[in-house]
Amino acid sequence: MDQLLTTFDFATMLEPGTLASPNANSAGPIMTKTLPTLQFSYPLPFGAILQETGVQFAIFSKHATAMRVLLYKRPSDREPYRLIEFNPDTDRWGDIWSVFVPELEAGTLYHFQCDGPFEPDQGHRFDPHARLIDPYAKALAGRFLPSDDGIVRPPKCVVVDEHFDWQGDRHLRRPLAESVIYEMHVRGFTQSPTSDSDAAGTYRGVIDKIPYLKSLGVTAVELMPVHEFPTEDVDGRKRERSNYWGYDPIAFFAPHRGYMQGAQPGDQVRQFKEMVRELHAAGIEVILDVVFNHTAEGNHVGPVFGFKGLENSVYYMLNNDGSYKNYSGCGNTVNSNHPIVREMIFHCLRHWVYNYHIDGFRFDLASILSRNRYGELVPNPPLVEYIAEDPMLADTKIIAEAWDAAGAYQVGSFATQRWAEWNGAYRDNVRRYWRGDLGMTGPMATRLSGSSDLYQPSGRKPYHSINFITSHDGYTLNDLVSYERKHNLANGEENRDGDNNNYSANYGVEGPTRRQPIVDLRKRQAKNMLSSLLLSQGVPMIVAGDEILRTQRGNNNAYCQDNSISWFDWNLVDKNADMLRFAQAIIALRLHQPTLRRTKFLTGTAERPDELPDVSWYGTDGHCVDWNHTFHSLACVFGTSWLKDPAARHVMIFMHAGGQPQQFTVPLAARKLSWRLTIDTAAKTPGDVYPDCHGPELDVTKPLVLPNHSLKCFVATT
């Protein structure tokens, strides 16, 4: 007997459907014979499933009273050329509507459309005229078309052939502890004319720059949202503000069409896979920034072009009066712990892992995933646990932005040992330490050693802390040391947007300056922070362009700046070659030194009495540090105790965030060893970093003087 077998085994006896013109209510049968049962052993039971003889359409809606598929010939068509009515007696299985349409092929363009109650106070917003994006659409084509008749016409869904020659590619499975993550925007990375790419702003443009990524030494790229988002308003007009960042999803399963080369519907699928394949061939993993917390449909005044028109009360969190809960700050909140939505997100993650070989995910505003259907934060939320335990995701990196726009802040307490987190405390403490704020030596030491205060109590490890000083959201590294206040007027919101609390400094002049002492100090501070990031236990994340001092001209919320404010300026690769060389060298140091990549928290103990402890902290006098003192100086030694890797070497770091030079005494325990200078942020290139760790030898018997705002790092040779 035909039945809905399981999530991954969708069986349907293909009963006759009906065909009608766009203006007709019904028509005669389009098929007169029963077709064989379809067995799906495929990760996606819903959406448009391509078969040898046609396409199977399957979609969920509990309260719909009628369902239709609209077929189009071209992405620019305003009206369908064909309309397929689902027969509710033969094409509905519980709350799943399913119909097979023969002779359709890959590239077919379609929308769904359905009837149902329009009762907003009950959570229902069905619109029989709305053209709806398939929640499981694997690609979109075209754009929002003008809606002079009041009907929203979103991009068309595309039937996709998933076959692709991966040439033996598999997930790289690099341990998280050995990763260096590079956050980047696909379009912004090569869109500037300075990129000299024939495929600027596209997936293929990223391929062009793989040699640069390899030379930098990063092990993974974290791509800002690549699932589909609107690039124009829903009435087809150009947006007042560009949707550059892409945190406004409309189709979770589909790679963004705006990043492909050419305009062939569905070709973005192949081009995205080519990008992943080539990145993998270069040893670089791909992590996606995914936005499962809201959609572009907005609140009660927003348009209906997808989830709202299919089952609004299921896909969104609603109040008792049918209005939208807004924990995302974007008008609505995806009801992620409803079983139907949970299943969709689960399928989506598997889709990206199975069909695109994605290596990991960073979940935007992930605290929303911890809220139940009533918006309450709950322990062990089903979706969060589901993701952590799924066997198909076992090789992927799972990273949470452990807060949301409604005040939830779960850094250190988000979930289980499977989840890593963006460590917001790391960002704030390191910024404040190097700015010279009082009382920051203790917090700086805690962050440098892996944030055990946040992650050890729950049994997690140092690599669960994703350390970052800058991200897409906020200042670039250059601007962090060049501006004391945000400069967001270009966003058109009278400088009201963006965070006011940045822990930044300008060191005498707001913005660009030719005063050489200020220029030198800013570069030193940038090197201090980048060095701290790469020398810390945990996993470092660098924002694209920080290694060459890219600026956003003081804009700390460049979400709408699809222009030179946000784009990677490739001229800076040569202009700031010394900074690039510095970044390359300290990334290489990290990847070659197991001492900096521990998988267990430091204990302050040694395996043998004659060894240095795994970590020891010192004041400027070479004795144990006084954590209650307000000095701006700190020294530490990361020892090799408990490490079995023969490549491990002791690493000694001196940091001084004060405004005057500071003298240090080399700790007595370290004087028994020979040390070579590796990093000196106050020195001019090439003396600022020694890639082979063979800089000048340290005279351990003499005081070591650090200029104001500087860092020195030494590696033991014995």
| Residues 19-26: contacts with CB under 8 Å, at least 24 apart | 19/82, 19/83, 19/84, 19/85, 20/83, 20/84, 20/85, 21/83, 22/70, 22/79, 22/80, 22/83, 24/83, 26/85
CA distances for 335 relative to 294, 332, 339, 351, angstroms: 9, 9, 9, 20
* Element of type H or E holding 220: strand 220-223
Token match 């250190």: residue?
412
Tokens representing residue 260 in the block: 């492909």
| In contact, 140 and 157? CB cutoff 8 Å | yes
> What per-residue string of b and e applies to 162-184 under the rule 16 or more CB within 10 Å gives b?
bebeeeebeebebebbebbbbbb
* CA–CA dist 121, 320 (Å, integer): 8
State the sign of the Cα–Cα–Cα–Cα dihedral 578, 287, 273, 569.
Answer: negative
Task: Give me the catalytic one of 127, 183, 289, 401.
Answer: 401
Q: Where are the beta strands (DSSP E) in 513-650?
A: 539-543, 615-618, 633-638
Q: Are strands 651-656 and 124-125 parallel, antiparallel or unpaired?
A: unpaired
Q: Is 676 helix (H, G, I), strand (E, B) or coil?
A: strand
* CA–CA dist 18, 26 (Å, integer): 7
* CA–CA dist 303, 329 (Å, integer): 17
Nearest of 348, 383, 352, 45 to residue 171 by alpha carbon: 352
* CA–CA dist 684, 578 (Å, integer): 9
Q: Where are the beta strands (DSSP E) in 526-589?
A: 539-543
CB neighbours of residue 684 within 10 Å:
10
* Residue 364 falls in the annotated catalytic set: yes
Backbone angles phi, psi at 354, to 5 degrees: -80, -45
| In contact, 35 and 52? CB cutoff 8 Å | no
Inter-helix orientation angle 441-448/424-435, to 10°: 130
* CA–CA dist 473, 511 (Å, integer): 19
Nearest of 667, 694, 666 to residue 678 by alpha carbon: 694
Q: Report which DSSP code applies to 221.
A: E
Angle at CA of residue 474, ends 453 and 581, nearest 5°: 85
Task: Give me the catalytic one of 364, 421, 546, 680.
Answer: 364
| In contact, 435 and 476? CB cutoff 8 Å | no
* CA–CA dist 105, 159 (Å, integer): 7
CA distances for 638 relative to 603, 681, 706, angstroms: 11, 19, 20
CA distances for 524 relative to 221, 241, 479, angstroms: 26, 36, 13
* CA–CA dist 279, 302 (Å, integer): 38
Q: Are strands 118-119 and 124-125 parallel, antiparallel or unpaired?
A: antiparallel
* CA–CA dist 704, 691 (Å, integer): 22
Is the preceding peptide bond at 45 cis, omega within 30 degrees of 0? no
DSSP string across 119-132: EGGGTEE--TT--B
Query: Assign residue 459 a region: left if phi > 0, alpha if psi is -120 to 50, beta otherwise?
Result: left
| Structural Rg of the chain based on CA atoms | 28
What are the residue numbers of the active site? Answer: 364, 401
